[in-house]
Amino acid sequence: DTEVTQTPKHLVMGMTNKKSLKCEQHMGHRAMYWYKQKAKKPPELMFVYSYEKLSINESVPSRFSPECPNSSLLNLHLHALQPEDSALYLCASSTRTENTEAFFGQGTRLTVV
Amino acid sequence: GENVEQHPSTLSVQEGDSAVIKCTYSDSASNYFPWYKQELGKGPQLIIDIRSNVGEKKDQRIAVTLNKTAKHFSLHITETQPEDSAVYFCAATPGNYQLIWGAGTKLIIKP
For chain B, positions 47-106, list CB contacts with chain A under 8 A.
49, 51, 89, 91, 93, 95-99, 101-104
User: pLDDT band at residue A1, thresholds of 50, 70 and 90?
Assistant: low
Mark yes or no for CB contact A45/B98 under 8 Å.
yes
Q: Are B19 and B37 in contact (CB under 8 A)?
A: no
**HEC secondary structure over B31-100:** CEEEEEEECCCCCCEEEEEEECCCCEEEECCEEEEEECCCCEEEEEECCCCHHHCEEEEEEEECCCCCCE
Instruction: Tell me the DSSP string of A61-92.
Output: -TTEEEEEEETTEEEEEEES--GGG-EEEEEE
Model confidence pLDDT, tens digit, residues B61-86:
999 999 999 999 999 999 999 999 99
Residue B44, pLDDT > 70, answer yes
Average pLDDT value for chain B: 95
Our CA-based measurement puts residue B100 at a distance from the nearest CA of chain A, in whole angstroms, of: 9
Q: What percent of chain A has pLDDT over 90?
A: 88
Mean pLDDT of B30-47: 95
Which residues, including other chains, have CB under 8 Å from residue A43's CB and lie 6 or more apart? A35, A36, A37, A90, A104, B44, B101
**Which residues have a Cβ under 8 Å from the Cβ of A87 and sit 6 or more positions away?**
A36, A37, A38, A110
Q: What is the largest CA-CA distance in chain A?
A: 39
Q: Do strands A18-25 and B32-38 pair parallel, antiparallel, or not at all (unpaired)?
A: unpaired
Q: Name the pairing type of β-strands A10-13 and A108-112.
A: parallel
Using the Cβ of B45 and the Cβ atoms of chain A, whether some distance falls under 8 Å is answered with: yes
What DSSP character marks residue B102? Answer: P
Q: How confident is the model at residue A2 (pLDDT cuts 50, 70, 90)?
A: low
Of B43, B67, B46, B47, nearest to B56 (Cα)? B67
For the segment A29-44, the average pLDDT, to the nearest whole number, is 95
What pLDDT shows up at residue A98? Answer: 76
Residue B91 has pLDDT above 70, yes or no: yes
The whole-angstrom distance between B90's CA and the closest CA on chain A is 10
Is the distance from CB of B34 to CB of A102 less than 8 angstroms? yes
Please write the tens of the pLDDT for every residue from A39-80: 999 999 999 999 999 988 888 999 999 999 999 999 999 999
Per-residue confidence (pLDDT) for residue A100, from 0 to 100: 80
Cα distance from B89 to chain A (closest Cα, Å)?
7
Q: How far apart are CA A49 and CA A47, in angstroms?
A: 7
> A102–B103: do the CB atoms touch at under 8 Å?
no
Span A88-111, average pLDDT: 91
